[in-house]
Structures are given as structure tokens and as C-alpha cells.
């Protein structure tokens, strides 16, 4: 998808930086770091990137992340995506990255975290896009690694890390065992933004609510299967980060027309819209917003919901409120 950018401002709260790497950049990273890829041209990589199924997605994820080894690599990924997101009207991003697997391959925590944080600063300076960072705990990781992530992430709070997430294979690893890590994150002043309720039903969302003290839920779309849970989400004002095209790509939703986003909103649940894995799922921020519009949602409500869920400082929130207030949403 390469949609023509819509003019209104956008806030994106759910994008995996590892899945924003374009084929051109991947080839550059591989050559720089001596990594062998299945194709040695941009055209070949672009063909390889064409989404086939979830197993193929994981294959592309692994070969991409294996090429990311140094501070400059992580920095570049943030700056490049900020430029792309700005093209689609983004003014604020909360970007996800998964550091634990990189440390398993010998990359140091500080190399990873300083690279991403440097990238966030450079993105602001070069592109005027505010970027905050939310490292994911990998569900397959032991609790000790999760606690190590929290400890290192807390040292970078003043450089743009605002929360800790939980990502990976939802069907295999429930949220509850990670409660100590999220308790530690809260003690360090970090937010909680776990993935839940994408491929697993309401029990996954309930587990995240009860065990992880979430500030937002990433996905959460399976809440429509439980009216009581829907009411609770609405009453709490908890924002769900919804990714329509991604949900169709992964098979979590059979078609865009059947996506539960309108039902969630009708139930009073606040929903933001994001790309999730844009390059790997052949989508972009404009396309996701247009998908939401096709489902009957209006862009201003999406902007306001995302602003309500953003984990930024008050000065940034005020600036974003001013951006929203200044835009002629109704063309007037």
C-alpha cells in the first residue's frame, strides 16, 4: 500500500521499528555489518518482502533484525521512519523495539538503547516529529531478562523511553508471569503498554488488565467477544491501539469489512490507529487511517483518542492539543 497522504495530523502509538526498515536500508545495513541476505539487490529484497503468511513475516523479521548491530543502525531506523511517518502527517510517534533478542546475539544494552534514543532526538531535530520509545519484553524470554530490560530502560527515561511493552507469541505465553517486571517498571516511573487480545481472546486482555496495570492495550480487538470487558474498557477510558490492515494480514480478522473497530467505538472504547509493521505488511499510516475512515470513523476522533493515550510529558501534550485545535478538520 502506498496511499496518497491525507492532510490531517496523525498520532501513531503502535509501530515496531524493526518492521519499518525498507529494502534499501536493509541492504545497506547488511553490507555494513557483513550479514548475508537471501537477495543482494534492492529489487530482490523487495520481492522477498512481499507478504505471504505469518511464518514468512517471522522469517523477514529475523533476517532484518540480525542486520541491526550497532548504535548507528538503531539510530538510522528511527530517523528514517520519522521521515516516512511525517510524509503521512505524523506529529507524534510511540515506537516499539525488541531489545532482548539483540542482546542474545551479543549486542549491548547501551548500544541498543542509546542508538534508539539518539534517533528519537535526531528525528525531532531533522523532521519535527516527536518520538517516544517503548521497548517490548519478549514473551518467550525468562523473567530475569524482562527485569533486566526494565532496569536498563529506566536509565533512559530522560531520553525518551516512556513505557515497557509485552510482545511476541500471544498464544503461547500469557501475560501473568511478567507481572513482576511491570511492577518494577511502574516503580521506575515507566508506563505499561502490553500487546493483548489480537490472536487470543478476552482472557488475554483480562490477564493484562489484572496483572500488568496497563496504560493502554496494544490491539485489544478481541474484547468485542465479552460485553462485560467492553464496558470495563470504556469505563476505564483505556485506549486500544488498533491496526486494521495488520489485523487482516495476520489473519486475526478475516477482512477489513469485518473488522471490529466500529463495534469497539460504538461501545465507548477509545481507539487509536497505527501501522504495526508497515514495511512487512505493505501498509502505511495514511492507508490505516483511510481504512478506519472506510469503517465509519472520523480522523479527528482518532487523533483525540490517540492523544488521550499518549504517554508524553504535559508540554508535548499541550503542543499536540494545539496542533489538533489549529487544523480545519471539517474543511472550514
Active site residue 198: yes
* Cβ neighbour number for residue 174 with a 10 Å cutoff: 16
- 174-175-181 Cα angle (round to 5): 140
- Please tell me which residue in 12, 198, 225, 314 is annotated as part of the active site: 198
Distance CA 216, CA 251 (A): 23
Q: Which of 116, 137, 122, 124 minimizes the C-alpha distance to 190? A: 137
Separation in Å, CA 281 to CA 2, 31, 114? 12, 24, 28
Quote the distance between the C-alpha of residue 86 and its chain's center. 16
- Please name every residue paired with 12 in a beta bridge, in sequence order, or none if there are none: 93
Residue 76: φ, ψ to 5° = -60, -40
Do 309 and 13 contact (CB within 8 A), yes or no? yes
Phi-psi region of 112 (alpha: psi -120 to 50; beta: other; left: phi over 0): alpha
Distance CA 63, CA 38 (A): 9
Distance CA 191, CA 176 (A): 17
What SS3 class is residue 50? Answer: coil
DSSP 256-285: GGG-SHHHHHHTT--EEE--BSTTTTT--H
> Which residues are marked as active site?
198
Amino acid at each position: 500500500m502506498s496511499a496518497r497522504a491525507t492532510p490531517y495530523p496523525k498520532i501513531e502509538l503502535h509501530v515496531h521499528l524493526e518492521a519499518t526498515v525498507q529494502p534499501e536500508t536493509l541492504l545497506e545495513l547488511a553490507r555494513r555489518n557483513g550479514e548475508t541476505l537471501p537477495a543482494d539487490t534492492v529489487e530482490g529484497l523487495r520481492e522477498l518482502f512481499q507478504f505471504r503468511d505469518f511464518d514468512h513475516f517471522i522469517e523477514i523479521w529475523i533476517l532484518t533484525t540480525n542486520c541491526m548491530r550497532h548504535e548507528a543502525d538503531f539510530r538510522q531506523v528511527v530517523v528514517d521512519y520519522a521521515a516516512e511517518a511525517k510524509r503521512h502527517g505524523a506529529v507524534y510517534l510511540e515506537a516499539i523495539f525488541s531489545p532482548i533478542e539483540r542482546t542474545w546475539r551479543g549486542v549491548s544494552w547501551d548500544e541498543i538503547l542509546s542508538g534508539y534514543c539518539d534517533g528519537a532526538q535526531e528525528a525531532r531535530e531533522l523532521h519535527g516529529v516527536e518520538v517516544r520509545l517503548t521497548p517490548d519484553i519478549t514473551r518467550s524470554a525468562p523473567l530475569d531478562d524482562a527485569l533486566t530490560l526494565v532496569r536498563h530502560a529506566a536509565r533512559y527515561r530522560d531520553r525518551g523511553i516512556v513505557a515497557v511493552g509485552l510482545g511476541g507469541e500471544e498464544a503461547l505465553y500469557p501475560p501473568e508471569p511478567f507481572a513482576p517486571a511491570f511492577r518494577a517498571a511502574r516503580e521506575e516511573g515507566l508506563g505499561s503498554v502490553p500487546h493483548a487480545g489480537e490472536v487470543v481472546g478476552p482472557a488475554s486482555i483480562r490477564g493484562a488488565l489484572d496483572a500488568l496495570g496497563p496504560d493502554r492495550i496494544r490491539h485489544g480487538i478481541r474484547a468485542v467477544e465479552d460485553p462485560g470487558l467492553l464496558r470495563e474498557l470504556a469505563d476505564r477510558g483505556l485506549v486500544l491501539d488498533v491496526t486494521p490492515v495488520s489485523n487482516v494480514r495476520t489473519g486475526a480478522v478475516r477482512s477489513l469489512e469485518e473488522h471490529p473497530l466500529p463495534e469497539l467505538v460504538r461501545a465507548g472504547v477509545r481507539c487509536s490507529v497505527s501501522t504495526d509493521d508497515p514495511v512487512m505488511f505493505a501498509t502505511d499510516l495514511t492507508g490505516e487511517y483511510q481504512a478506519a475512515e472506510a469503517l465509519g470513523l472520523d480522523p479527528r476522533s482518532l487523533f483525540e483518542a490517540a492523544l488521550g493515550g499518549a504517554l508524553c510529558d504535559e508540554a508535548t501534550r499541550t503542543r499536540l492539543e494545539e496542533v489538533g485545535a489549529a487544523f480545519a478538520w471539517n474543511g472550514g
